[in-house]
Amino acid sequence: MHSDPLLTVAQAAEVLGTTERFPRRLIAERRIVFVRVGRHVRIPESALTDFVTANTVQPVGARPNRLKVAV
């Protein structure tokens, strides 16, 4: 048995801090792993973690000061 909790679309939206429309769109576009339980759709908690990790943008390092050229 898989121990990864399955979340409802509403629970997934709450974890992501979005409306339910966003995880539903991710499911429709097959951009996130999901499970069909009869007519219901569930999202493994690890799929949310993977999605957030894959879409996390790391900050750029400090930019070097550009030389200003007098015109």
pLDDT value at position 48?
A: 96
pTM score: 0.76
pLDDT tens for 1-57 read 468 999 999 999 999 999 999 999 999 999 999 999 999 999 999 999 999 999 999
Q: Which of 40, 23, 41, 42 is nearest to 31 (CA)?
A: 23
Domain limits of the chain?
Answer: 6-54
Within a 13 Å sphere around the CA of 11, how many CA atoms are in the beta-carbon half?
11
Element (H, E) at 6: strand 6-7
Residues near 7 by beta carbon (within 8 Å), at least 6 away in sequence: 15, 42, 43, 44, 45, 48
The per-residue pLDDT for 2 is: 61
Tokens of 68: 């200003």
The residue ranking higher by pLDDT, 61 or 57, is 57
Report whether pLDDT(62) > 90.
no
C-beta neighbour count of 12 within 10 angstroms: 27
